[in-house]
Amino acid sequence: MPQLTSDTSRVENIDFWENLYRTNVTPWDLGQAAPPFRTFLDSPYAIPRGTIGVLGCGSGHECLLFAEKGFEVVGIDFAPSAIAATQKKFEDAGLFKKNGFVVQRDMFDLHHLYGRFDYILEHTCFCAIDPSKRRTYSYTVKDLLKVGGKLVALWWLLEKRGGPPFSTDQSEIFDLFKNDFRFDIIHRPNDSVADRQNKELFTVLTRMK
């Protein structure tokens, strides 16, 4: 993904993201669900159907993938254009308000949904937020999940200055989640898109308490 800006405070602003969608500057958008999610759902390790919240869902590729597999999907994003694109994907597939739902809201203001989800999905949302909010992100994921619920995540392991996307590594992710979550799957995918090859980590974590 090309460098967008180095100003961490900007990424907390809806207008920053909305403007990128409106001007079609969305280099994170793969035009499809990330292949490791599809591979996972077709594997013997796939999770059973349930309710899944997709944080920072963007234009909704993962939302559609999971909805087509029969999950009840709630796409969450604060940018109106992202929500509109996700809703359109659900509508085109005949799944909107059947098992595809959208919530246009700040992901750090979702108290009404606490304990609601069997699963939370992470894909290039963690690396998009201000790095100083990462601990809050981990608490938000925990609070949104039922006890025993799972975080299904594809982490983009970046080493760079500035962002978004902002750098992270495996040890930071372990540190953020190790107190409240069990790591069930830790996997280096071999089917990442070309410019993310060897830079992604796929994990499934279970909320333990």
Ligand X SMILES: C[S@@+](CC[C@H](N)C(=O)[O-])C[C@H]1O[C@@H](n2cnc3c(N)ncnc32)[C@H](O)[C@@H]1O
User: Per CB under 6 A, does 181 bind ligand X?
Assistant: no
Binding ligand X (rule: CB under 6 A), the pick from 108, 131, 185, 206 is 108
User: Per CB under 6 A, does 140 bind ligand X?
Assistant: no
- 3-state SS, residue 142: helix
Picking from 150, 199, 142, the residue whose alpha carbon sits closest to that of residue 176 is: 142
Cβ atoms within 10 A of the Cβ of 66, count? 25
Q: Which is nearer to ligand X, 95 or 103 (CB)?
A: 103
Q: Which is nearer to ligand X, 139 or 148 (CB)?
A: 139
User: Per CB under 6 A, does 77 bind ligand X?
Assistant: yes
User: Per CB under 6 A, does 56 bind ligand X?
Assistant: yes
Binding ligand X (rule: CB under 6 A), the pick from 106, 169, 175, 191 is 106
- Angle at 104 (CA atoms; ends 98, 106), nearest 5 degrees: 135
**Paired strand residues for 53:** 74, 120
- Angle at 135 (CA atoms; ends 174, 165), nearest 5 degrees: 80
User: Per CB under 6 A, does 37 bind ligand X?
Assistant: no
CB of 93 to ligand X, least distance (A): 17
Residues 170-190, buried b or exposed e (16+ Cβ, 10 A)? eeebeebbeebbeeebebebe
Segment contacting ligand X (CB under 6 A): 73-81, 92-100, 145-153, 169-177? 73-81
Binding ligand X (rule: CB under 6 A), the pick from 89, 123, 134, 142 is 123
CB of 99 to ligand X, least distance (A): 19
What span, in angstroms and rounded, lies between the C-alpha atoms of 89 and 186?
A: 30
DSSP secondary structure of 2-24: ------GGGGG-HHHHHHHHHTT
Binding ligand X (rule: CB under 6 A), the pick from 37, 40, 52, 57 is 57
Binding site for ligand X (CB under 6 A): 17, 28-29, 56-58, 77-79, 82, 106-108, 123-125, 128-129
